[in-house]
A and B are shown apart, each in its own frame.
Chain A
Amino acid sequence: MTIRAIAASVMASLLLIAPAAHAQEKKGTGPVPEMSGLWLVQDPGSGSWTDWFDNVPKPKLQPDIIADNQRMAASEAAGNVVNRAPRTAACPIGNLPMMMASSPPINIVASRDEVLMGSESNRGRFVYTDGRPHRDVKAPSYVPTGFGDSIGHWEGDTLVVDTIGFAPRVCDSRRPVMLVPGGGRAKDTTHLVERYRLVGPDELSVTFTWEDSTVFLAPHTYSYTYKRLPEGIPIENNEEPAVAQPDRQYTTTKAEK
C-alpha cells in the first residue's frame, strides 16, 4: 500500500468517526442550552393574582368542572377565603401550576442527569433527564405530591418535561384540588408536558400542555415567558412558623394576609 493510500484510508476512517461522535454529543451527553439561573415570570401587571392566574387561553372544561368553578367562586364571594383544612402528614407538598406562575423567581440548576427547579430558595421540583422512565405512580409506595413525577429529555434546543403522578387532593378547604391556570385541575389523572426553550440569552419560554379527560375536553395549552435575573440573590421564606402546638388546627396561608 502506498503512503498516499494509507493516508487516504486513515483520513476516511477519521471522517467517519467524527460525525458519529458529534451525533452522540448532540444526543444527550454534549452541551445543551444553559438554562441554569434565576428566572422571573413575566406577569403583564394586572396586580391581581386571580386575574394573572386566569390570563391564559380559556380551556374547554368538563361540565362538572365548570359547575365546581362556579360553586367555588360563589363560596369565595360569600367570604370563605380562609383555608381551614388541618395540615397533617397526609397533606401533599408542592403545587406545580402555582409555583410556575408565582412571582418568586424559579431557580433552575440543570445538571446532565437531573434538573432542580426551586422557588423562593426552598426546595421544589426534580426533573430526571438521565433516561429513566416514570416511577410507578399507581404503586402503594409512591407518595404523590403537588409536583408529580417529572422526567425530561432534550429535543434539539428544547427541554421537554413530562409529568404525571400529581396528588389527587390538597389540604385546602376552599379548593381541595390543585387549580390549573384558566380554571382546570391537576390531580392523579392529569398529564402535563412542558417545553422549555431559550428564546434569547436572558429569556426563557415555557409552554404548558395539560391533558386529563376528566377535566379538559381538549388539551389545554398556554405559555409563560421568564426573564433571567443575572445577579439575582436567592431569597428564603423567612416567615416565622408557629412552634408546634397540639391545639393549633390550621396554618396561616398567604391568602389569609
Chain B
Amino acid sequence: MAVRGLLALVVLVWSTSALAQGGAATARPDLSGYWELRFDSFNVPRAPLTTAAQGALEMRRAKDQDAIRGCVNVGMPAVMDDRGVLDIRQSPAVIGMVARSPSSTRYIYTDGRKHPDAEELEGTTNGHSIGRWQADTLVVDTVGFNERGITAIPGGGYRTSRAHLTESYKLAASGDQLTVTFTWTDPTVFRTPHSYTFRYYKVGAMPEPRVLNCIQNDADRARFLTERPAPARF
C-alpha cells in the first residue's frame, strides 16, 4: 500500500511537471525581438489600382513628401518597412512595435477586445489593431486610419481612412525569421485585395540611437529634400 501511494505521488509530481512544460511548449510564439527588413523583401507585386487611385498618385506622392519634410509620424505601412530595425515587444495582452523613423508606437491588442465603434475611433497613422492567434500565426486586423504621414503602400496605392489591413505573422527558421503577409482592401484604391509578404531577420541588438531625431525646421534638411540635385561630375 505504501509503495502504491509513493508511486501515485511520483506520478502526480511528474504529471504536474509535464503539464507545466507542455503548457509552455504550446504557448503562443513570442514575436519579441529586433527585426530587420532586408532587400529580399522588396519584390512586391503591383497593386490592382482603381482608375481614381491611379489619377491621385501624383498628388499623394507630393503629400507624402510634405510629411517627410515636416517630420510627421510616418504611420502604416511605412512603420513596417522602415529602413531601421523594428523593435517588437509582446506581452500577454498587447504587442508594441517601435520603428526608428518618426512614428507612433504601434499597438496590437490581443486581449480579445473588438475595434471601437467608428464614431469613437479617431483616425491615426497606425490605425487601431486587434490580433488573435490561429495556432502559431498571429492574425491582425486594422482599421481607423487617417491620411497623415507617409501613405504610400508597397506595390502601389495609398492608405486612406477607408483602408482595412489584415496581416499574418509567423515565425520561421527556428525563430530567427518573421514572415508577415499584408493584405490591403479599400474600394477607393484597390480593385481587388492587394497582398505582399515581408521577411524580417532577427538581429541581436538595436543600433543606437534608437530614435531618429527628426527636426522639421532644419533648414539644411529642408533644402536637401526640396532642391533638385545637380548632375554629378566625374
Contact = CB atoms under 8 A, between A and B. Distances in A.
Interface of A: 3-4, 7-8, 10-11, 14-15, 17-18, 21, 34, 36-37, 86-89, 91-93, 107, 109-116, 118, 121-124, 126, 135, 141-143, 145, 231, 233-238, 241-251
A111 B105 contact: no
26 contacts: A11-B6, A11-B13, A17-B17, A36-B94, A37-B94, A86-B217, A89-B218, A92-B213, A109-B90, A114-B89, A116-B96, A116-B98, A118-B96, A118-B105, A121-B126, A122-B73, A126-B87, A143-B209, A233-B120, A233-B122, A238-B146, A241-B71, A243-B70, A244-B69, A245-B222, A248-B217
B172 interface: no
B203 interface: no
A236 B126 contact: yes
Contact of A107 (B71, B87, B107, B218): B107
Interface in B102-129: 103-105, 107, 113, 116, 120-122, 124-126, 128
A3 B1 CA distance: 12
Given A11-B10, A89-B213, A109-B94, A122 B105 contact: yes
Interface centre among A92, A111, A124, A251 (most CB of B within 10 A): A111
Interface string B53-92: 0000000000000100111110000000000000101111
Nearest to A247: B219
Interface residues of B, number: 56
Contacts of B9: 11
Instruction: Identify the 7 closest CB pairs spanning chains A and B, nearest first.
Output: A109-B96, A244-B222, A246-B219, A36-B91, A111-B89, A236-B124, A118-B105
Q: Decide if the interface of chain A is mainly helix, strand, loop or mixed.
A: loop
A107 B65 CA distance: 30
A242 B3 contact: no
Interface of B: 2-3, 6-7, 9-10, 13-14, 17, 30, 32, 66, 69-73, 87, 89-96, 98, 103-105, 107, 113, 116, 120-122, 124-126, 128, 146, 148, 208-211, 213, 215-219, 221-223, 225
Contacts, number: 158
A115 B90 CA distance: 9
Contacts of A111: 30, 32, 89-91
Contacts of B105: 107, 109, 116, 118, 121-124, 234
Nearest to B72: A241
A244 B91 CA distance: 38
A30 to B, nearest CB: 10
Contacts of B17: 14, 17-18, 21
A241 B66 CA distance: 10
